[in-house]
Amino acid sequence: MNAEPSSGASLRFRPPVSTDGPAVTALISRCPPLDRNSAYCNLIQCTHFADQCVIAELGDRIVGWVSGHRPASDPRAFFVWQVAVAAEGRGKGLASQMIKSLLTRSAQHDVTHLITTITDGNKASWALFRGLARDWGAELERSALFEREAHFAGAYPTEYQARIGPLTFSKIQKAQG
């Protein structure tokens, strides 16, 4: 997908390549409260999981990143791991556009549910995923997945799973416009 932002630079979405690893790592570091994965983890995502990740470029700058995967335990689901948007891309629906672009790839044609985990305090992420559910006319179910004490020994807040579905490829394409 290409779009023309007001700056005149072209916005485009594409799968990552290994040389994107350092830029992805830098972008994530500028997007708190995202966990800073190792540079190696980001390289693996950019190579082994390229079909499940998307880069948003504005001109020659990476301004957005979504990483995900298809869980072996739930292969018809798509798990969104991280969504990172640079300051200049925020407030424009870029995160939603990247996820929709990613789910319209042929590698995701049989996805029936979108899942992710979000802490209670991450209002922007809840708004993003509620908006996707609304756009797709699908339900969003919320349940505690990783609890503060049981899973994080009190060091991190509870992560709630957001599960959106059922989805169809045609619903996703229609919402993409």
Q: Tell which residue, 18, 10, 12, 89, has the closest CA to residue 47.
A: 18
Domain ranges of the chain: 2-176
Contact 92, 7 (CB under 8 A): no
pLDDT digits (tens, 9 = 90+) for 51-89: 999 999 999 899 999 999 999 999 999 999 999 999 999
Mention every residue, 6+ apart, whose C-beta is less than 8 A from residue 119: 33, 156, 157, 158, 159, 160
- Give the global pTM: 0.90
The CATH number assigned to the domain with range 2-176 reads 3.40.630.30
pLDDT digits (tens, 9 = 90+) for 91-146: 899 999 999 999 999 999 899 999 999 999 999 999 999 999 999 999 999 999 99
